[in-house]
Structure 1
Amino acid sequence: MRVKKKGVWFLTLLSLVAVIGVYYLFDRNPMPFDGITIFSDDTIEDTELGDAGSDATPVFAESYLFEELRMEMRNERSQQRELLTQKITSDDLTAEERDQAFDEMQVLTKRETAEAMLEMLIKDLGYEDAVVRTEDGTVKVSVIADELSAAQADQIVYTVKSEWEDSSTVYVDFKSGQ
């Protein structure tokens, strides 16, 4: 009975995180600066709009290049986690099969944590955005960069291999941020 309560709480929390994530994903629209003075004694009729011109840069510039890939990975892992949770809470399986499902869930959680940490470390190297995918010892890293030199790719490979001991092969590719 205790495992079922944990499973229900876990699924509730996961659902809440998914709903909040989707809300923030679709709610974050770029809001360009249009030259209006926010704090002023003038009324709205007295306010003049500035001409931004063609060389204007947006104030809000977040990359959405990898968001679709991240959402696909989250959906796939969520389905795996749900299946494993069903196995763990099932009374039809033996204790060994439930233990194996629990171990698989721990491996999945460890993989997700390692991917998130590697993405953060790669972003700290100076890249705008990065996506890390791991599967059976293979790590695929995609970064946003104008150009990726061999030295930069080696630095990413070194970072991945030093932080993720299960990585036997590391692939690095880049996407243009523009």
Structure 2
Amino acid sequence: MLLKKQTVWLLTMLSLVVVLSVYYLTGPDQNSSNVASNQEEKDKQSTESTKQKEETAKISDKEVPKVAISSSDDEFEALRINIQDERSKLSEELTNKMGDTSLSAEEKNQAVEANNKLSETATTEQVLEYEIMQLNYPAALVRIDGNKVDVTVKTDEKLTALEVADIMDIVNTEMDDVEDVAVEFKLDEGK
């Protein structure tokens, strides 16, 4: 009987060693250099987009179109990834709050509502981008921050007041409580 217990114990320990070995070989530490280089690339893209925004200028006194020197679909995608990363971090924090046993039910419900609002915002951005691109723009980027919406479209030439109005109508139709809509355009130098 003692031999069986020792055998079971030995097999359990060997299994544990194998599982831990596999984890350490394929775990997150092996990818840390990739994560660091990805973070450096994201920081570089963020710096470039900040510089690009600084080059943006208003065309008229109204909060209408703005112009930037250049743009690409890759730039829009990099901005989307940064926004998505920030929201993922916030969502993770909210999820942790939901599971925190020391918080009251009301605080947990607020975390659930905030998490749902994040998902809803991301979905609304995607819908707006799709609808705006249906107006024959090669690319569109929509960023929603509360009641403020920033829309950037890639185009071959300056936007007319009618085109800006069309974009603003799409935003106002899709969203109920919009206070401020800023429409920018970026020249597509690829054409």
Aligned partners of 1:166 and 1:74: how far apart in 2?
23
Give structure 2 stretches of 5+ with no counterpart. Answer: 1-37, 39-71
Is the contact made by 1:63 and 1:177 (CA closer than 8 Å) also made in structure 2?
no
- The structure with the largest strand share of the pair is 2
1:78 corresponds in structure 2 to 88
CA distance in 1, matches of 2:102, 2:127: 37
Residue type at the aligned position of 2:153: V
Alpha-carbon distance in structure 1 between the residues aligned to 2:178 and 2:136 = 22
1:176 aligned onto 2:187: yes
Matched residue count: 118
Q: In the TM superposition, what is the alpha-carbon distance from 1:136 to its structure 2 partner?
A: 1.9
Residue 149 of structure 1 aligns with an amino acid whose one-letter code is T
How far, CA to CA, are the matches of 1:93 and 1:170 in structure 2? 37
Which range is displaced more, 80-89 or 160-169? 160-169
Structure with greater contact order relative to length (CA < 8 Å, sep ≥ 6): 2
Q: Is 1:63–1:129's contact at 8 Å kept on the other side of the alignment?
A: yes
In structure 2, how many angstroms separate the alpha carbons of the residues matched to 1:122 and 1:77? Answer: 23
Is residue 72 of structure 2 the alignment partner of residue 67 of structure 1? no
Aligned with 2:178 (options 157, 167, 170): 167
Give SS of 1:165's match.
coil
Residue 169 of structure 1: how far off its partner (Å): 1.0
8 Å contact kept, 1:127–1:145: yes
2: distance between equivalents of 1:142 and 1:112?
A: 16
Q: CA deviation at 1:166?
A: 2.3
Report which of the two has the higher share of helix.
Answer: 2
Letter in 2 for 1:169: D
CA distance in 2, matches of 1:111, 1:166: 13
Q: Give the structure with higher Rg (CA).
A: 2
Q: Is 1:103 matched with 2:113?
A: yes
1:131 aligns with 2:137: no
Q: What's the CA shift for 1:149? A: 1.1
Correspondence for 1:50: none
Question: What TM-score results when the alignment is normalised by the length of structure 1?
Answer: 0.64
What secondary structure is seen at the aligned counterpart in 2 of 1:174? strand
| Identical-pair percentage | 36
Task: Work out the CA distance in 1 between the residues paired with 2:180 and 2:141.
Answer: 16
- Separation in 2, partners of 1:70, 1:110: 16
Partner-residue secondary structure (3-state), 2:136: coil
Runs of 4+ in 1 over 2 A off after TM superposition: none
1:64, 1:143 → 2: CA distance?
13
Counterparts of 1:162 and 1:152, CA distance in 2 = 15
Q: How does 1:1-178 map to 2 (within 5 A)?
A: 63-147=73-157, 148-178=159-189
Counterparts of 2:120 and 2:177 in 1: how far apart (Å)? Answer: 11
Deviations 1:132-166 (A, max 9, x none): 01112010000000221111111000111011112
